[in-house]
Amino acid sequence: MKFTFTEENLKRIEQVRKKYPTALAAVMPVIYIAQEQNGFISNEVMEEIANVLDIDKVNVLSVVTFYTMYHTKPMGKYHVQVCTNVSCMLRGAYEIFDLVKDKLGIENMQVTQDGKFSLEEVECMGACGGAPMIAINEDYYENLTKEKVEEILDSLK
Amino acid sequence: MERIVLPQIENLHQIDVYLANHGFEAARKAFSLSTDDIIDQVKKSGLRGRGGAAFSTGLKWSFMPKTTDKPKYLCINGDESEPGSFKDRQIFEFNPFQLIEGAIISCYAIGAKVAYLYIRGEYHKWINLMQNAVDIAYERGFLGEKMKETFGTSFSCDLFIHKGAGAYICGEESSLMNSIEGKRPYPRVKPPFPAQNGLWGNPTTINNVETITNIPPIIRNGWEWFSKIGAPKHPGTILFGVSGHVNKPGVYELPSGTLLTEIIENYAGGVLGGKKIKCVIPGGSSMPPLRGDQIEGVRMDAESLKEVGSAIGTGGIMVMDEDTNLLDVLIRITHFYHHESCGQCTPCREGVGWMEKALKRIKAGLGTSKDLDLLCDVANHIEGNTVCALGDAAAWPVKFMITRFRDEFEMYVNKNVVIPVPNKVHSMRDTSIPLASIEK
Ligand SMILES: Cc1cc2nc3c(=O)[nH]c(=O)nc-3n(C[C@H](O)[C@H](O)[C@H](O)COP(=O)(O)O)c2cc1C
Ligand code: SF4
Ligand code: FES
């Protein structure tokens, strides 16, 4: 499917480009803008990013595939990220992870059938003092218990 | 007790409150000094980087070439992805203008017209808070062209926020620069160092967020004042992030050289359930862990920790109680470094993956005492043989966890399982260890 940026996003891209002396340097923020508009980064999206910035598509590809926050396939409306790194693990992160898996009926990096939830086991999120923690889309939830996690997930249904 | 980076002033994140509490006084003072003078003061203050290596900030600044036609850059490292570290986000949230003021003074001192503040992508909320503060600083004439009028100087600089996208390696300074440049963020071979050949090949200085936030008070109160706080060889306060098995995890700003036990007992509220401590990692997961019986009398500054065979790192203190399974912890740590390895050099890419597998094999009950020696041996071969320090960061926990807790790891290696030695008669298929069965 052909992808084109909205007028508004093209303006944002113009603004972003002013922060850097080269067009290539704008690639990360532009990928974010594209992901926001399209939900994920498909082949066509990468082509359009390359197009807009007048850079080689391989440059876009090599950046998109390096980072965990750029998604090359659609994620759920609510992307649930559970940190299981050491500080969270010491405070029961794996129990939280298993609970979310059971409750949503999906494995790591899968999406529920209705497209509502997706799950990702993530590395330290810089919230170790609030362990265990999860993030849903852009929001952090800290100092969790299993009950609280259930409550949060239920409130999103 | 003195708080330098996170003073206890309500609503300090609002510009008017910041202005009412000496806000931008240091910048005004700085513009009346020569750049050499500022660098000299920062050097004499003894300020050392808070991003991990505890390198002298003033000395780093002095590496920037004075006579060059090239543009110079400042990168402020807020990637904050070291497991156990969660301090820079406190600055974004509670004292953003002091960070901005620090950036202005630093830019002036090294001659940079542009500063990039690199913040990890997961910190959406804190990126927004910081962007908001930056916008206000522009509006009020503390950044950009308007600065000239505000401060009555010919100098001006810009501050841009660059949002990361979920890669630990981007905290490494040369990877961070490649990330900003829009390249695949592989760390660069050094030398050349960033001061010679940094962003787009230009002279660049990279400092941690907390380091830069320390600059305004140093300029305002003078280097003597700063040098007298905390441990003489690593002065100032440090934001200690305490996590794991403690009653009150959180970020505590305390003078460097504070006793580790005091931080755990008096500030973090002691160990959960009054249990004993088995292990403490004092500076984020890359730093060598200490045994519970090693921590008595240990002071939290770079020199003291070096003496006991660890390092200050990012000041992220991870506490593990007596019931912690250290094999599980070590597997998790090693998994992290394996996952985050950029794959550029073989010892890191293959070696760390191998260590993870070997540890999982021990977990599956198939390990022997020899595996423990082999793990230490492999760790030694990774250390110092890679492009960037992630290799060392992965090697240290393995090497030191196993040597310092050898008794516990001996317990984990099931001596009843004899692993057949491959020989000429048996094919590898029959004798190799069934990795598939233990891979998760
Ligand atoms: C793998 C790796 C990850 C790092 N991550 C960070 C980080 O998240 N934040 C940081 O300030 N420094 C990090 N560093 C250290 C930086 O390379 C650099 O030394 C530091 O930002 C310099 O700032 P300072 O002198 O103010 O400490 C990392 C280093 C390595 C090798
Ligand atoms: S040590 Fe690891 S992370 Fe660093 S450059 Fe080499 S492969 Fe990449
Ligand atoms: S270990 Fe989970 S947020 Fe740091």
- What whole-number distance in Å separates Cα of residue B235 and Cα of residue B226? 7
pLDDT digits (tens, 9 = 90+) for B355-395: 999 999 999 999 999 999 999 999 999 999 999 999 999 99
Q: Is the residue at A72 inside a domain?
A: no
Residue with tokens 């290596």: B53
Tell me the three state secondary structure of residue A137. Answer: coil
Instruction: Please tell me the distance between residue B24's alpha carbon and the centre of ligand 1 in angstroms.
Output: 27
The phi and psi torsions of B108 (rounded to 5 degrees) equal: -60, -45
Pocket residue to mutate for ligand 2, from B82, B355, B387, most atoms within 8 A of Cβ? B387
Is residue A146's pLDDT more than 80?
yes
Q: Identify the bridge partners of residue B47 per DSSP, sorted by sequence position.
A: none
Q: Which two three-digit tokens encode residue B152?
A: 């009555």
- What whole-number distance in Å separates Cα of residue B272 and Cα of residue B279? 14
Q: Is the residue at A46 inside a domain?
A: yes
Q: Is the residue at A14 inside a domain?
A: yes
Number of domains, chain A = 2
Q: Is the residue at A150 inside a domain?
A: yes
**Dihedral angle over CA of B217, B222, B226, B227, nearest 10:** 160
User: Which of A123, A134, A139 to probe the B interface (max B CBs under 10 A)?
Assistant: A123
pLDDT of the residue at A157: 74
CATH number, position A125: 3.40.30.10
* Exposure string over B119-135, b if 16+ CB within 10 A, otherwise e: bbbbbbebbebbbebbe
Are the beta carbons of A138 and B124 separated by less than 8 Å?
yes
Is residue B427's pLDDT more than 90?
no
Longest dimension (CA), chain A: 50
Same domain, A60 and A97: no
- What whole-number distance in Å separates Cα of residue B181 and Cα of residue B179? 5
Same CATH topology for B15-227 and B326-417? no
Given CB atoms, is A21 within the 8 Å cutoff of chain B?
A: yes
pLDDT of the residue at B114: 98
Q: Is the residue at A103 inside a domain?
A: yes
The CB of B30 under 6 Å from ligand 1? The reply is: no
**What dotted CATH number matches B326-417?**
1.20.1440.230
Given CB atoms, is B275 within the 8 Å cutoff of chain A?
A: no
Residues B209-231, mean pLDDT to the nearest whole number: 98
Evaluate whether the domain defined by B237-321 bears CATH number 3.40.50.720: no
A59: containing domain: 7-64
From A25, A87, A135, residue closest to B83, measured CB to CB: A87
Q: Which two three-digit tokens encode residue B83?
A: 């497991």
Are the beta carbons of A85 and B336 separated by less than 8 Å?
yes
Closest residue CA from atom 2 of ligand 1: B172
Are the beta carbons of A126 and B245 separated by less than 8 Å?
no
Residue with tokens 């700063």: B226
Name the DSSP class of A116: S
Q: Domain residue spans in chain B?
A: 15-227, 237-321, 326-417
The CB of A127 under 6 Å from ligand 3? The reply is: yes
Is residue B423's pLDDT more than 60?
no
Q: Identify the bridge partners of residue A21 per DSSP, sorted by sequence position.
A: none
- What whole-number distance in Å separates Cα of residue A11 and Cα of residue A3? 16
Q: Label each residue of chain B as H, E or C.
A: CCCCCCCCCCCCCCHHHHHHCCCCHHHHHHHCCCHHHHHHHHHHHCCECCCCCCCEHHHHHHCCCCCCCCCCEEEEEECCCCCCCCCHHHHHHHCHHHHHHHHHHHHHHHCCCEEEEEECCCCHHHHHHHHHHHHHHHHCCCCCCCHHHHHCCCCCCEEEEEECCCCHHHHCHHHHHHHHCCCCCCCCCCCCCCCCCCHHHCCEEEEEHHHHHCHHHHHHHCHHHHHCCCCCCCCCEEEEEEEECECCCEEEEEECCCEHHHHHHHHCCCEHHHCCEEEEECCCCCCCCEEHHHCCCCECCHHHHHHCCCCCCCCEEEEEECCCCHHHHHHHHHHHHHHHCCCCCHHHHHHHHHHHHHHHHHHCCCCCHHHHHHHHHHHHHHCCCCCCCHHHHHHHHHHHHHHHCHHHHHHHCCCCCCCCCCCCCCCHHHHCCCHHHHCC
Residues 92-121 of A with CB under 8 A from B: none
Instruction: Please tell me the distance between residue B169's alpha carbon and the centre of ligand 2 in angstroms.
Output: 8
Residues B175-185, mean pLDDT to the nearest whole number: 98
Instruction: Please tell me the distance between residue B187's alpha carbon and the centre of ligand 1 in angstroms.
Output: 12
Q: Which two three-digit tokens encode residue B262?
A: 């005091």
Name the DSSP class of A26: G
CATH number, position A15: 1.10.10
Residues B37-64, mean pLDDT to the nearest whole number: 98
From B124, B182, B251, residue closest to A129, measured CB to CB: B251
Same domain, A57 and A85: no
For residues B154 and A17, the answer to whether their CB atoms sit within 8 Å is: no
Q: Is the residue at A1 inside a domain?
A: no
Q: Is the residue at A98 inside a domain?
A: yes
The fraction of chain B above a pLDDT of 90, given in percent, is 93
pLDDT digits (tens, 9 = 90+) for B78-134: 999 999 999 999 999 999 999 999 999 999 999 999 999 999 999 999 999 999 999
* Minimal C-alpha gap between B431 and chain A (Å): 32
Same domain, A60 and A112: no
Same domain, A52 and A102: no
Cβ partners under 8 Å of residue B93, min gap 6: B13, B126, B129
* Superfamily for domain range B15-227: NADH-ubiquinone oxidoreductase 51kDa subunit (3.40.50.11540)
Q: Which chain B residues are closer than 8 Å to A84 by Cβ?
A: 332
Q: Is the ipTM of this complex over 0.90?
A: yes
Same domain, A85 and A51: no
Q: Which two three-digit tokens encode residue A12?
A: 């944002």
Instruction: Please tell me the distance between residue B81's alpha carbon and the centre of ligand 1 in angstroms.
Output: 9
Same domain, A108 and A40: no
For residues B176 and B163, the answer to whether their CB atoms sit within 8 Å is: no
Same domain, A60 and A82: no
pLDDT digits (tens, 9 = 90+) for B55-82: 999 999 999 999 999 999 999 999 999 9
pTM of this structure? 0.95
Q: Is the residue at A35 inside a domain?
A: yes
**Dihedral angle over CA of A116, A119, A123, A129, nearest 10:** 70
pLDDT of the residue at B270: 97
pLDDT of the residue at B416: 56
Same domain, A93 and A138: yes
From B181, B333, B342, residue closest to A25, measured CB to CB: B181
pLDDT of the residue at B2: 84
For residues A133 and A144, the answer to whether their CB atoms sit within 8 Å is: yes
Q: What angle do CA B303, B391, B75 make, to 5 degrees?
A: 70
Q: Is the dihedral of CA A120, B168, B91, B247 positive or negative?
A: positive
Given CB atoms, is B14 within the 8 Å cutoff of chain A?
A: no
Residues A83-112, mean pLDDT to the nearest whole number: 98
